[in-house]
Amino acid sequence: MAVVLSLRLGFVAPPYPRTSSGRLATSFRAVACAGGGTTSPITVAGDPPTVVSAPGRRIVAIGDVHGDLSQTRAALVLAGVLSAESEGHVWTGGRTVLVQVGDILDRGEDEIAILSLFSSLNAQAKSQGGAVFQVNGNHETMNVEGDFRYVVNPGGFEECIRFLEYLDECDGNWDNAFLSWVNVAERRKKEYRASPNGDHTRWNFVKKYSGFAARSSLFKRGGLLACELARHPVVLKINDWIFCHGGLLPHHVEYGIERMNREVSMWMKCQSEDSGDETDIPFIATRGYDSVVWSRLYSQDPAERTRRALMLSSIIAEQTLKSVEAKGMVVGHTPQIHGVNCKCDGKVWCIDVGMSYGVLYSRPEVLEIVNDRPRVLKKQRDSYDEMEVLDYL
């Protein structure tokens, strides 16, 4: 039976006022916080969350961040949900609903700090009537499997060592250590690298083993960070929009979205309804080219596909969305060289722009959905005070 949680929220934000030229005439914070009467509360169904009702809320979605804390902050500031000051990590989104579509892990060196940041922002957002959701991607499931081949930066292992040391200093208090890690991570990184054993260039066997052991203990099934990831779904529906990492397909819907979310979560926590299948990975969600976290059916570059293949993916997207009574889908997973864009006749939005320094190191871009109208927010020139808003629909 679905677990339903209700969060009491504030006021409905009015539509964005615009000048005669069509540019935004107010700040994101003003839009998120302004408003006149009360509105319905956000309700969350499923454990982990599967269906979210957030009436009248502004939704912002962020793609793959791959361990790059600086670019993650930049994307959040761009979205209007994080204070521009680097210290403090204050939520400024009011009643905004923020969604991150997976692949926080691998390729960078601040993965736990980013997980900590999103958890901290979620606690702040709830107090203001907003919410923060995460969707697990293929790199989250790979780490729980013990597949660390994309931990290409030694800093990814080092952070695990430093975090376990910090957890010990917090007397094993997980909530305290995890929520505050983002505020101390950079200082402790500098201190570690200034120490005799912190030289990046001398990544010897002992350090490699220590880093591997630390990461394994945190991300193994039933490990502290694996259980943290287990709180999040692989598919999430917010209002009339589907959010997932790779792509939702008809056979996923037939199998059951809530069932997939529950099975992946239980697998990460090393629990099972059937003790005989305790070690089985949920294949339909996490393995294979057509699984939820691996599929590129919707996000592949059109130049690499035939016209027939493009038409087929559009038809599949339409059928899938119709079956779950949704208007659109938002996915990550495949870096979009030309930025956030829509495919499948406007039905699917691809928001992975490869912003991490471990991928393309491109400018952050964010998808914003207000009143079911998607817009791309991206940095203009060198200032976050000036925004370029592209209306596709």
User: For the chain, what is the radius of gyration of the CA atoms?
Assistant: 20
* Alpha carbon 6 to its chain's center: 22
Which element (helix H / strand E) includes 7? strand 4-7
Whether 150 and 359 have beta carbons less than 8 Å apart is answered as no
Whether 260 and 252 have beta carbons less than 8 Å apart is answered as yes
* Alpha carbon 189 to its chain's center: 24
Please confirm, yes or no, whether 139 is among the known catalytic residues.
yes
> CB 257: neighbour CB atoms within 10 A?
23
> CB 207: neighbour CB atoms within 10 A?
18
Nearby residues of 265 by Cβ (< 8 Å), 6 or more positions away: 47, 48, 230, 231, 233
Are β-strands 328-331 and 97-100 bridged in parallel, bridged antiparallel, or unpaired? unpaired
φ, ψ of residue 45 to 5 degrees: the values are -110, 135
* Active-site residue identified among 66, 89, 139, 252: 139
Strand ranges across the sheet with 348-350: 4-7, 42-45, 51-53, 235-238, 241-244, 328-331, 348-350, 341-343
* Alpha carbon 207 to its chain's center: 30
For residues 95 and 305, what is the distance between their CA atoms, to the nearest angstrom?
40
Active site residue ranges: 139
